[in-house]
């Protein structure tokens, strides 16, 4: 009787979900149309509705990466699968145009990009009927009830890769919680990044035997120094990476007050399209930044350099004296520390790192990074690190050792995917 009640609740939740989608259909279509016009991409509208997919190919493996961060995390895995199984046709879906741009930039002709269809049954059906993938890989946390159900109906193995679950998702109640539970019944395997995430998925309703702790795939996304082309500037610099609104202004004030010897502060915003606004904020401090997108040269009196370009962050990290991680001094939740750690960089960040708790805890436990509570503490740490080469070198070495202990992450995921997906012969 209990199983019947749970099944009834899941069906009722799915029915409510369909009703919500039907009521919201017109606003969803209007917003999708607006985004297509804004980005001048008619295929965005087409593919979000399930149309306009490339002609069907044999041996397709499909990976969904919501946006830029997930694409970067999945890049090494896709390249490894492509090398191991050259007959595979890789298809990557995203929901954002910036994600699409990153797929083209990082994967080139190794993968076809398509926009993920809206979670409408008709759109999902058209998408899967055209694509016919051997296997579906969903990066991190994307629970789409109609998509998951359609994959199960077509006997497409569906794996959640680098699976993570937030406290917000775990905090859902009522019919939405039952909706998640129902969606997870259609998943073949959940490859979790940590024991905490594995426990969270079981709590959310996943069958215990399909949940496996593999580890954080972002360890494999961090590129060793030998694979990175450094971006050099005429003077040594400190990099503020992936900054958000207000961080640029506060970091610039701090930097101007520090009076460093010859170093520059390079600001690489998370969203380069904010460049004009950032320049106005910096000019309010009576400082004229050199702007990379304008090909400005570093002059003798240049104090701040704005790296407002896409895809060059790793190159700047490779050449930096040390790295300040943005998104950690405002309640954004921080950004990935593993990439600068792989590059053996001294890393400093603020109090808000809740999106990367496992990585942060691991690096802090090894005394490989420095976390500060505010900008005043940051100023003191920066001053000391720029003056004390031995302290900076110790952080660099411990960060490198931490990364080396997790260097087999790519092999772990490749092996797990091979077990569940019906891949062609090599």
Residue 424 confidence (pLDDT): 63
363-369 long-range contacts, CB within 8 A, separation 24+: 363/337, 363/399, 363/402, 366/398, 366/399, 366/401, 366/402, 367/395, 367/398, 368/341, 368/395, 368/398, 368/399, 368/401, 368/402, 369/337, 369/341, 369/395, 369/399
CA pseudo-torsion sign 372, 373, 375, 376? negative
| CA separation, residue 199 to residues 183, 191, 424 (Å) | 17, 12, 33
Residue 274 confidence (pLDDT): 96
Cβ neighbour number for residue 340 with a 10 Å cutoff = 28
What phi-psi label fits residue 344: left (phi over 0), alpha (psi between -120 and 50 degrees) or beta? left
Residue 425 confidence (pLDDT): 57
Cβ-based neighbours of 141, under 8 Å, separated by 6 or more: 160, 163, 164, 165, 166, 169
Using a 10 angstrom Cβ sphere, with 0-12 exposed, 13-18 middle and 19 or more buried, the burial of residue 173 is exposed
Nearest to 311 by CA among 26, 35, 108, 137: 108
For residues 154 and 124, give the distance between their C-alpha atoms in angstroms, rounded to a whole number: 12
193-201 long-range contacts, CB within 8 A, separation 24+: 193/162, 193/163, 193/164, 193/217, 193/358, 194/164, 194/358, 196/358, 197/163, 197/164, 197/165, 198/163, 200/164, 200/165, 200/169, 200/170, 201/160, 201/163, 201/165
Residue 2 confidence (pLDDT): 57
Cα separation of the two ends of the chain: 48
Considering the candidates 70, 321, 339, 396, report the single residue annotated as catalytic: 70
Residue 1 confidence (pLDDT): 43
Residue 3 confidence (pLDDT): 63
| CA separation, residue 316 to residues 224, 274, 292 (Å) | 14, 19, 12
Q: Are 135 and 62 in contact (CB under 8 A)?
A: yes
Q: Are 160 and 143 in contact (CB under 8 A)?
A: no
Structural domains in the chain, sorted by start:
2-216+409-420 (3.40.50.11720), 225-404 (3.40.50.2000)
For residues 272 and 239, give the distance between their C-alpha atoms in angstroms, rounded to a whole number: 15
Q: What is the pLDDT tens value at each position of the chain, 426 positions in all?
A: 456 667 777 888 899 999 999 999 999 999 999 999 999 999 999 999 999 988 888 889 999 998 888 898 899 899 999 888 888 899 999 999 989 999 999 998 899 999 999 999 999 999 999 999 999 999 988 899 999 999 999 999 999 999 998 888 888 888 999 999 999 999 999 999 989 999 999 999 999 999 999 998 888 876 666 678 999 999 999 999 999 999 999 999 999 999 777 899 999 999 999 999 999 999 999 999 999 999 999 999 999 999 999 889 999 999 999 999 999 999 999 998 998 999 999 999 999 999 888 889 999 999 999 999 999 999 999 999 999 999 999 999 999 999 988 888 899 999 999 999 877 655
Active site residue 70: yes
Q: Number of C-alpha atoms within 13 angstroms, CB side, residue 190?
A: 31
| CA separation, residue 3 to residues 177, 188, 374 (Å) | 16, 20, 51
Residue 426 confidence (pLDDT): 54
């Amino acid at each position: 009787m209990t199983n019947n009640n749970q099944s009834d609740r899941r069906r009722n939740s799915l029915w409510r979900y369909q009703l919500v989608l039907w009521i919201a259909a017109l606003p969803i279509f209007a917003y999708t149309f607006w985004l297509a016009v804004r980005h001048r991409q008619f295929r965005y509208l087409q593919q979000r509705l399930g149309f306009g997919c490339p002609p069907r190919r044999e041996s397709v493996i499909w990976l969904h990466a919501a946006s830029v961060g997930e694409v970067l995390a999945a890049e090494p895995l896709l390249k490894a699968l492509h090398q191991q199984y050259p007959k595979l046709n890789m298809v990557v879906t995203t929901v954002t145009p910036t994600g699409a741009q990153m797929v083209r930039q990082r994967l080139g002709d190794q993968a076809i990009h398509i926009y993920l269809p809206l979670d409408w049954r008709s759109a999902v059906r058209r998408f899967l009927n055209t694509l016919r993938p051997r296997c579906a890989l969903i990066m991190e946390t994307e629970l789409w009830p109609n998509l998951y159900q359609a994959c199960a109906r077509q006997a497409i193995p569906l794996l959640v890769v680098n699976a993570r679950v937030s406290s917000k998702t775990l905090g859902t109640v009522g019919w939405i919680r039952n909706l998640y539970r129902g969606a997870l019944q259609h998943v073949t395997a959940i490859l979790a990044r940590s024991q905490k995430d594995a426990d969270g998925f079981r709590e959310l309703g996943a069958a215990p035997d399909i949940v496996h702790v593999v580890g954080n795939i972002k360890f494999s996304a961090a590129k060793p120094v030998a694979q990175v082309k450094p971006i050099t500037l005429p003077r040594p610099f400190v990099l503020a990476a992936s900054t958000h609104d207000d961080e640029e202004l506060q970091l610039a004030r701090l930097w101007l007050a520090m009076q460093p010897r010859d170093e520059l502060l390079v600001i690489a915003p998370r969203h380069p399209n904010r460049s004009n606004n950032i320049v106005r904020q910096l000019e309010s401090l009576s400082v004229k930044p050199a702007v990379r997108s304008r090909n400005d040269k570093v002059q003798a009196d240049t104090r701040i350099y704005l790296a407002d370009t896409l895809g060059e962050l790793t190159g700047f990290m490779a050449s930096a004296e040390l790295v300040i991680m943005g998104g950690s001094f405002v309640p954004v939740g921080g950004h990935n520390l593993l990439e600068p750690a792989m590059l053996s960089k001294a890393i400093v960040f603020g109090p808000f790192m809740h999106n990367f708790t496992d990585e942060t805890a691991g690096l802090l436990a090894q005394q490989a990074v420095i976390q500060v509570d505010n900008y005043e503490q940051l100023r003191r740490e920066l001053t000391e690190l720029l003056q004390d080469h031995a302290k900076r070198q110790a952080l660099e070495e411990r960060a490198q050792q931490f990364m080396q202990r997790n260097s087999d992450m790519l092999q772990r995921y490749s092996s797990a995917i091979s077990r569940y997906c019906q891949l062609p012969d090599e």
